[in-house]
Amino acid sequence: MSCSIKDVARRAGVSVGTVSRVINGYENIAPERIDAVREAIRVLGYRKNSVAQLLAGRRGDSRLRTGNIGLWMVEMGNEWSSNSVYVNYLTGIEEVCARRGCHVLLEHSCAADEIPRCVREGKVDGVIVKAVNEIPPVLNDLSGKIPVIGLSMLERELPIAQVSTDNQRAGEEVCRYLWERGHRRIAFVSRDNHHRMFLARLHGYEVFLRARNAFDPELVQCFSPVSDPREPEKTFPDMSGMLDTLLRLPEPPTAVIAANDWMAAGLYEAAEHRNLRIPEDISVIGFDHLANLFLRPRLTSYEIPMRGMGSAAAEWIIDLVEHGISVEEPTFRMINGTIAVHDSVKDKTT
């Protein structure tokens, strides 16, 4: 049997406005009225927006919780659902939410200028936001009103909690790995010179080499993106032009750092078409550690801890919800990865 908000108000002996305020988490309400509304909701089985509203017995304040955590994937259409990057983040989040008694509501959005529907309709207690290049301006409005965690974000001006990995450090570590194996002519290639993570990795590469007076701008090949970032690429990017440019240099590189594994796979294809052997003729290394299973030789790659970041974001936002904590200034938790060593880098020191 369905009931309305008026039925709840009638049974609780309060106004419809009071019921609405309790449901939406307002706290300046007399405790006895909050208890009466909750009891009426429980007895009548009232549902708001077709989503069961759970009583806030797990917390001592007046907020009526949904038991749901939102995951807002900005700049990502539904086509990303089967992508390994997306799946790794989601797996970490879902594992924690299942263990702590929460559900995950997914929302994809190609636009970043409006509040996600799950938040707008009051269906979540908090929201995890995954954004890269287009940071939603509405996050400033949401801050302080609902727990928000930025996933794989490092925005120092944004007043929200954020879980990320240090991509500049990752770039330095990858460059150091090659340097310690005797490589001195190290190139960096990227098909997207707007992507914040890729730019941070490039910056780490440059910092490392400049400290050793070994940076050569001719070894950097970064182009503007040619595909729509809202949809995952279905084929490896064409890296042949970049590779040809590097090979034509008076002193070509002995190793190439790709901004991610997907571009590294494109380098593999370009090298094969030119009868170059990896790593005998040129070494290749990437980031993410998602392509080593289908590339031969297996790709050495900096393993970005996507699953770990998803887990950390879920733990943090549930803690914020359960303890009623609001974050009003940039707060960061860094989770760093490691280099997964396989077969694509030649040791020139032996």
pLDDT tens, 115-152? 788 887 888 999 999 987 777 777 877 777 789 999 99
Domains of the chain, each with CATH number or no CATH: 5-52 (1.10.260.40), 68-165+307-336 (3.40.50.2300), 167-304 (3.40.50.2300)
Q: Residue 204 pLDDT more than 90?
A: yes
pLDDT given for residue 231 in this prediction:
60
What is the mean predicted confidence (pLDDT) over 279-297?
A: 93
Mean pLDDT across the chain: 85
Q: For residue 53, what pLDDT band results from cuts at 50, 70 and 90?
A: very low
pLDDT given for residue 138 in this prediction:
79
Q: For residue 218, what pLDDT band results from cuts at 50, 70 and 90?
A: very high
Beta strands in the chain (DSSP E): 47-48, 51-52, 68-74, 103-109, 126-130, 148-151, 161-164, 186-190, 220-222, 255-258, 283-287, 300-303, 331-334, 338-340
Number of helices and strands in the chain (H, E): 11, 14
Distance CA(44)–CA(1), nearest Å, equals 9
Distance CA(192)–CA(179), nearest Å, equals 25
Tokens of 290: 């998602």
Instruction: Tell me which DSSP letter residue 81 carries.
Output: G
Instruction: Tell me which DSSP letter residue 24 carries.
Output: T
